[in-house]
Amino acid sequence: MKLYYSPGACSLSPHIALLEAGLPHDLVKVDLRAKKLENGDDFLKVNPKGQVPALALDSGELITEGPVIVQMIADQAAGKNLAPAHGSSERYKLLEWLNFITAELHKNFGPMFSPVLGDEAKAFFKDRVMAKFKYIDSQMADRDYLMGSHFTVADGYLFTMLSWADRMKFDLSAMPNLLAYKARVAARPKVQEALTREGLMKAT
């Protein structure tokens, strides 16, 4: 498999999932502004959507959209328990979390990266994201991870959103459950490996 990624982008989520799953893969870095690969090739020829993540399977098929990619990764390594079984009530709960993260966090973060949007508009979206984080904080009082005591692919996705909050200097000090959760996920060896491989933290 081949993961097309940009350092620190939402592709960090499937990168974490691949490492947690123990699946062999190659990384291909993408310049999202230029839509170019490191070797100069046109990324749009790989993924006409022009976005990461994109996962090229050994069959030649390309899978896009992060929440779908991470589920496929989890299903390829069922023994790692990164997602509950298909058809189970727990699987639908995982889908609920993935949907919430992509629709309520990820999509509200997007405008804050815009170079043309004004500060007032960005503040509006920041307030929306903060409200969603407060909700998650309220859900984490008695659990280690989103699904309870076990890490799943939804946690890699939420951690990616929390890393964006760090970059944008969000003050999450009033959300102790969420901060403890972020530290817990950050301490996982495979998460640290993904961050190191993307140049987001120094190798130790």
Looking at residue 204, what is its pLDDT? 47
Predicted confidence band at 201 (pLDDT cuts at 50, 70, 90)? confident
Q: How far is CA 42 from CA 32, 33, 66, in A?
A: 11, 12, 21
Question: What does the mean pLDDT of the chain come to?
Answer: 96
Share of the chain above pLDDT 90, in %: 97
Q: Tell me which amino acid residue 56 is.
A: A
Residue ranges of domains in the chain, CATH in brackets? 2-80+191-197 (3.40.30.10), 89-188 (1.20.1050.10)
Contact 63, 76 (CB under 8 A): no
- The stretch 48-61 carries a mean pLDDT of 97
Site of tokens 């998650």: 136
- What tens digit of pLDDT does each residue of 82-102 get? 999 999 999 999 999 999 999
- What tens digit of pLDDT does each residue of 129-173 get? 999 999 999 999 999 999 999 999 999 999 999 999 999 999 999
Residue 115 has pLDDT above 60, yes or no: yes
Residue 68 has pLDDT above 50, yes or no: yes
Contact 76, 20 (CB under 8 A): no
Contact 26, 78 (CB under 8 A): no
- The stretch 62-77 carries a mean pLDDT of 98
The DSSP code for 60 is: S
Q: What is the DSSP string of 185-201?
A: HHTSHHHHHHHHHTTSS
Predicted confidence band at 202 (pLDDT cuts at 50, 70, 90)? low
